Structure formats: structure tokens, C-alpha cells
Amino acid sequence: MDQRKFWQKVQRQRESLTADDYYVMSLDDEENSNNRGGSVTQVNREVAARCIARATHRLATPEEIERHIAADRRNAAENAKKELDRKQPINITLAPGVIVSRVEDQPEHDGSADAKAKLKK
């Protein structure tokens, strides 16, 4: 496609899009760029018009948008929890006479008298 036709197509697409932001779904394009498609992305009107004109994307359906937003929210919640866990302070208080060793060297402690005896050794 020559440049003039491409940009005319982009202009027509831009004029047909009335909102500022859109969700677009990528399409399979294994012949030219080996893209697998199926990813939803939020883009502005200009980018949406170019993607549609290139035939690399199409407008996403309401169901695809809902799944994308739900996945984004899940990822944001997981990331927020990981960040909170990362920032949690760890307080370690050692009693007098306690020897600290690697976790692999410790017998499993299940609360039984036998396990307590192993810990005292």
C-alpha cells in the first residue's frame, strides 16, 4: 500500500472514531510479523486509527474489554499485595544464648516433645 493511500485510510478511520480512547484487539499476522494476536490494549484515537488501517488490530468487543479490565484489576491487586508484603518490616528478636543457623539445618518443628528435644540439642 502506498503512503498516500495508507494515510487517507488512517484519516477515514480517525474521522469514524469519535471517542478519545479505544480498546483494540490484536490480530494474527504470522505471514508478515509473526504476531499471534488476541491481546487487548487501550489506545488513543490516533493510534487506534493507525492500527485499524494497518489491519493489525480491530476494535475490541465489550466482552473482550470486560475481560481485559478484570485481568488488569487482578494484576493490580496482586502487584499491590506484593509491594505491601515487600515493604512489611521484619522484626527478629533473639533470646540470650540462641544460636542462629540456616533453615535447612533445623529439624522440622511440629510441636511434639520429640521435635522440642531435637531443637534443644
Q: Is residue 89 part of a domain?
A: no
Q: Is residue 103 part of a domain?
A: no
Domain enclosing residue 22, as ranges = 3-73
Q: Is residue 92 part of a domain?
A: no
What are 26-67's pLDDT values in tens digits?
998 766 666 778 899 999 999 999 999 998 999 999 999 999
d(C-alpha 39, C-alpha 115), whole Å: 53
**Whole-prediction pTM:** 0.60
Tally of domains within the chain: 1
Q: Is residue 105 part of a domain?
A: no
Q: Is residue 46 part of a domain?
A: yes
Q: Please write down the HEC assignment for all residues of 63-85.
A: HHHHHHHHHHHHHHHHHHHHHHH
